[in-house]
């Protein structure tokens, strides 16, 4: 894939961003198992990346200036683009949450995580800021904008 931001609206179960094709652990820039294969996945590919590979049946579409899906006020598992998929604001869920993260990129590296929490029984509240690039959540919770 060429440099850019890409989205698959489900079907992806695993992916890798690679710096080499030698099959060595050091060739993996980032990788991710997708626990809910129906969830959307967003990935940033850089010009220096050698390859991108994935498992599953997902179909990848480049997110460009024409990407305008409409802002959701309620959403579930997946990776969401702030300002395009979801609006900044305060979101709440009363469901158990396995994981959430506010993101500065979709590179799927530790450096791309602004803030995160895991294993919150009984729900959570998070402020997704306008400076966040994305938001990730897993575990089946439904998030609703409250402010």
Q: pLDDT digit string (tens) for 95-137?
A: 999 999 999 999 999 999 999 999 989 899 999 999 999 999 9
The pTM for the full model equals 0.94
Q: 143 pairs with which residues across the strands?
A: 75
Instruction: Output DSSP code: residue 88.
Output: S
In our burial notation (b when 16+ CB lie closer than 10 A, e otherwise), range 2-26 reads: eeebbbbebbbbebbbbbeeeeeee
User: Are 42 and 63 spatial neighbours (Cβ–Cβ below 8 Å)?
Assistant: yes
CA atoms within 13 A on the CB side of 59: 0
């Amino acid at each position: 894939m060429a440099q850019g931001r890409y989205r698959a609206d489900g079907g992806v179960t695993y992916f890798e961003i690679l710096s080499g094709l030698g099959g060595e652990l050091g060739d993996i820039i980032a990788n991710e198992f997708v626990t809910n294969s129906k969830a959307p996945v967003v990935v940033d590919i850089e010009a220096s990346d050698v390859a991108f590979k994935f498992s599953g049946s997902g179909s990848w579409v480049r997110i460009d200036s024409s990407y305008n899906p409409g802002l959701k006020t309620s959403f579930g598992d997946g990776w969401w683009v702030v300002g395009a998929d979801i609006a900044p604001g305060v979101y709440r869920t009363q469901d158990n949450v396995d994981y959430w993260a506010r993101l500065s990129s979709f590179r799927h590296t530790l450096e791309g995580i602004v803030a995160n929490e895991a294993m919150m029984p009984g729900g959570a509240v998070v402020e997704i800021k306008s400076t966040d690039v994305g938001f990730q959540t897993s575990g089946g919770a439904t998030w609703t904008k409250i402010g």
